[in-house]
Structure 1
Amino acid sequence: MTHATYENPVLNADWSDPDVVRVGDDFYLTASSFGRVPGLPLLHSRDLVNWTLVGHALERLEPEEEFRVPRHDGGVWAPSIRHHDERFWIFWGDPDRGVFQVNSPGIRGPWSRPRLVEAGRGLIDPCPLWDDETGEAYLVHAWARSRSGVKNRLTGHRMHPDGRSLLDEGQVIVDGDLLPGWFTLEGPKLHLHEGRFWILAPAGGVATGWQGAFRSRGFFGPYEERVVLEQGDTAVNGPHQGGWVRTAAGEDWFVHFQQRGAYGRVVHLQPMRWGDDGWPVLGAGGTPVAVHRRPDLPPQPPAAPTTDDDFPGGRYGRQWQWTANPGDGWAVRHSADGLRLTCVRSPGAGDLRVLPHVLTQRLPGRPGTAEVELRLDGTEPGARAGLAVLGDAYAWIGLERGGDGTVRLVHRFAEAGAGPERDAARPAPAPAGRARLLIEAGAGARCRFSYDLGDGPRSAGPVFAATPWRWVGALFGLFAAAPAGPGPAGSATFTRFRVTPR
């Protein structure tokens, strides 16, 4: 009998630092969201291969004043998701504030407001564990050197069983500096298995490292270590942190990410078994698989997180995230003809990287074309709106109202780091104030921009190579903006957003 197979990556976009949990016959995954809002995406699957986005656990980032502007290196880092006492729990580290948690009786909420479990700079990648036999609870976390001056070690704590606080100051339970060849140890996931505490944690750096396993009879150690997944002669660099999950039938699987430049951190699924020596064996004898037999679970129809959006009733889908906490009125509610974005006035309107009112979604990991129809109703000179590819460098194409009141098609870019936008193509008159905008993202995230003003598509400017942001893959973005000044500046309406695979 031939078993159906799957291909990696199973989530071919930037679902960074994934962790998974099974509840009954359902699997749930969450991932880092950093400074984007809403945060803590929640994905659902019945077979570990096909996933859909069902919501977010974090409506806004706190404190509000810190996340009124984009902070791509802050916010939600590397969450862990667990199910305990009939509730879902998600713990994460904010590298500037400490360890937080939210919880809910159901995956779709309502989720509690974030609770600070342990304050401190540099506390990242927390993972809780409840021992149902003893009633004890524990938490392990890693360290961000950028905030604390410390890295390459894992610290363990006893935790109050209610998950609201820690019961001790903690102690280092794995010191990577004492392990020959180990560096940048982080991303721990804590488990109990056959009388031992297990920590699955990567080391060696996001793009070049490996997955390690640590085991001990007691939570505070001592721990033995082993490398259980590494690149070998495969094309999967990393492979980096993720989570172990067991099906109801007893099969073991491991979900992890691979860093792919502008595409961000794409998600792979590895088979997992326990060797005769009691250590886990991941992938094909310790190296990642590209194709493998599917998990022994009921067949499911193909599914992936949605990209397309018709903006029904003026609402945008759950695949979109703002680059900071959204303000009132950025998106006009109950718009009958599409997504209407206000041309928000901002002194930073000339640099999309600093605007909080950019609505984004992940750049797909395979070639395809994004397109959207735009009407500019912005009334003020300098009012503009468009479709962008965002990263350390960015480019966009869209419409802008000139000082003489006319509307023109513009295509601009900005290089990595600081620096003003520059024209990537000569502006073209757009007297109807409408355009169809297209970005063809090819191999290597090389993007070609084009437009249609009603007389057929035309190419605009040279190829633009998309770049990641810090910790974040490149993003598609929709925006409307205007220079600083008094009074309203109008709006822009987007309709029929599509991403068509090539």
Structure 2
Amino acid sequence: MDADTYTNPVLDADWSDPDVVCVGDDFYLTASSFGRSPGLPLLHSRDLVNWTLIGHALERLSPGEEFAAPRHDCGVWAPSLRYHDERFWIFWGDPDRGVFQVNAPDVRGPWSSPLLLKAGKGLIDACPLWDEETGEAYLVHAWARSRSGVKNRLTGHRMRADGTGLLDEGTVIVDGDRIPGWFTLEGPKLYRHDGWFWILAPAGGVETGWQGAFRSRGFFGPYEERIVLEQKDTGVNGPHQGGWVRTPSGEDWFLHFQQRGPYGRVVHLQPVRWEHGWPVIGDDGAPVTVHRRPALPPQPPAAPATDDAFPGGRYGVQWQWTADPADGWATRHSGDGLRLVCVRSGGPHDLRTLPHVLTQRLPGSPCAAEVELRLDSGEAGARAGLAVLGDAYSWIGLQRGTDGSVHLVHRFAEAAGGGERDAGHARPAPGGRARLRVEIGPGARCRFSADTGDGFRPSGPVFAATAWRWVGALLGLFALAPDGPGHAGPATFTGFTVTPA
């Protein structure tokens, strides 16, 4: 690759269901966050290739207790990001509650509290459109069969111009069952272009499907369709679901995801040209791997943050809890290092069920993640560590015994269920300290090791990371203690780094 080209994926981690908007010389992107909190990540770029994470639009998933425990396949599905009336808007469907929106005068906030526009089960992938020609406003959404018994269709509504409500009960504007060979039509993005209403929407499933385009002279149809991006003879399976954006110079580009197993849904950038009134995405409808960069001012290399020194006990924007957090899980202080309270947890200690696990996305390329840990809690059974989380998980860390001593432990749990088991032999950790490492190789095969004062030593066999439903594997930090009275004390993490292999 030279300075004039880029290589896909441009976001090599699980930024699922991306949508993008151009405001002036800046591009902004949001993505699904499902059951993790905070939700609705916000990314910024000046060239569509180099992206930084600047925050989140959704501080909590719910003001109530709906997300007090992990619900990995729930929450925020496939948001749409728009700029209208000098405000940023994000609409999304929560499959169990309905269609929501938040808005803000500045992308960095403050963002409004979530507003429920349409309550119901199975309402997903919502996208608004303000028609600047007529002043009318519309909304389209898809359906999740798991909640509603309905799928493969898109429903359209008239919407209040201020985005605060819908004006009708909704009409099916595209029925995928009536299109030969189409199934699992979802993820619509709604646009107005060249006198047409356009819906860009994928079908065929995230691992094997294609990207479709629909156009109509009227919002409620009838729509004609074409497949505008598919795998063909490339290695990019199921090119799927994303957003179209036009640059200030008039170039058109499309950002979409590719499902990559434990790495989740990585993001690709495709050129778009128009031919006979239809968009042609990629290389004549096939995904590109290397391509000329957008005609935009050169930018320094950038990517969403992974490393964290935890200054003052604060964690960076790349971290999300596995559920809405409670007060006191992380404590601020005057020095560096993340102090996680060893939260008292009853029953079997299954990390997949605990809300107080702080996570970030698993990088899509081979790398090594390291962090130093000090177990300050004197509670017998208190433990803390570094985990790779998915349907199966494994972690390495420190645990205090009944005699007060601290040992390095390495444990895992299989995807099929059941409790944790030892993955490596325990060994003493003098001073209650250890440097923890997981090396993530091709295929997300993970090798754990630790330094307890005598250099890094490997622990246990290779662990193959697995995805969760809709979600890629995650790197996690946690601290917990057995049930009991009083405060269980903290564990301190310092110097979290992710180094490319």
What is the aligned partner in structure 2 of residue 501 from structure 1?
A: 500
Gaps of 5+ in 2: none
Shift of 1:431: 2.5
Gaps of 5+ in 1: none
What is the aligned partner in structure 2 of residue 376 from structure 1?
A: 375
Shift of 1:403: 1.3
Instruction: Give the secondary-structure state (helix, strand or coil) at the position aligned to 2:55.
Output: strand
Question: Aligned ranges for residues 195-344 of structure 1 at < 5 Å?
Answer: 195-275=195-275, 277-344=276-343
Shift of 1:349: 5.7
Q: Is the 8 A contact 2:93 2:99 kept in 1?
A: yes
Q: Is the 8 A contact 1:348 1:354 kept in 2?
A: no
Instruction: Give the secondary-structure state (helix, strand or coil) at the position aligned to 2:312.
Output: helix
Q: Which amino acid aligns with 2:375?
A: L
What is the aligned partner in structure 2 of residue 9 from structure 1?
A: 9
Q: Deviations over 1:289-330 (max 9, x none)?
A: 000000000000000001000001111000000001111110
- Could you tell which deviates more after superposition, 243-252 or 479-488? 479-488
Q: Is the 8 A contact 1:122 1:144 kept in 2?
A: yes
Q: Deviations over 1:150-173 (max 9, x none)?
A: 000000000000101000001100
CA distance in 2, matches of 1:240, 1:195: 25
Q: Is the 8 A contact 2:5 2:292 kept in 1?
A: yes
What is the aligned partner in structure 2 of residue 40 from structure 1?
A: 40
CA distance in 1, matches of 2:294, 2:124: 31
Identity of aligned residues (%): 80
What TM-score do the two structures reach when normalised by structure 1?
0.99
Shift of 1:257: 0.2
Is residue 413 of structure 2 the alignment partner of residue 414 of structure 1? yes
Q: Which amino acid aligns with 1:486?
A: P
Is residue 212 of structure 2 the alignment partner of residue 177 of structure 1? no
- Could you tell which deviates more after superposition, 63-72 or 366-375? 63-72
Q: Is the 8 A contact 2:378 2:488 kept in 1?
A: yes
CA distance in 2, matches of 1:446, 1:335: 38
CA distance in 1, matches of 2:44, 2:368: 26
Instruction: Give the secondary-structure state (helix, strand or coil) at the position aligned to 2:262.
Output: helix
Q: Deviations over 1:58-111 (max 9, x none)?
A: 000114201010010111000000000000000000000000000000000000
CA distance in 2, matches of 1:461, 1:17: 35
Q: 1:348 to 1:471 in 2, by over 3 A?
A: farther
CA distance in 2, matches of 1:398, 1:64: 33
Q: Is the 8 A contact 1:349 1:482 kept in 2?
A: no
What is the aligned partner in structure 1 of residue 354 from structure 2?
A: 355
CA distance in 1, matches of 2:133, 2:179: 32
Is residue 95 of structure 2 the alignment partner of residue 98 of structure 1? no
- Could you tell which deviates more after superposition, 22-31 or 3-12? 3-12
What is the aligned partner in structure 2 of residue 472 from structure 1?
A: 471
Q: Deviations over 1:452-500 (max 9, x none)?
A: 0111110000000000011100000000001111111111000000000
Is residue 78 of structure 2 the alignment partner of residue 82 of structure 1? no
Q: Is the 8 A contact 2:60 2:324 kept in 1?
A: yes
What is the aligned partner in structure 2 of residue 107 from structure 1?
A: 107
CA distance in 1, matches of 2:183, 2:231: 16
Kindly tell me the number of residue pairs found equivalent between the two proteins.
500
Q: Deviations over 1:96-144 (max 9, x none)?
A: 0000000000000000000001111000000000011111000000000
CA distance in 2, matches of 1:3, 1:68: 47
- Could you tell which deviates more after superposition, 313-322 or 62-71? 62-71
Shift of 1:347: 1.1
Shift of 1:3: 7.0
Shift of 1:9: 0.1
Q: Is the 8 A contact 1:262 1:445 kept in 2?
A: yes
Q: Which amino acid aligns with 2:74?
A: G
What is the aligned partner in structure 1 of residue 434 from structure 2?
A: 435
Q: 1:3 to 1:344 in 2, by over 3 A?
A: closer
What is the aligned partner in structure 1 of residue 190 from structure 2?
A: 190
The root-mean-square deviation of aligned C-alpha atoms, in Å, is 0.9
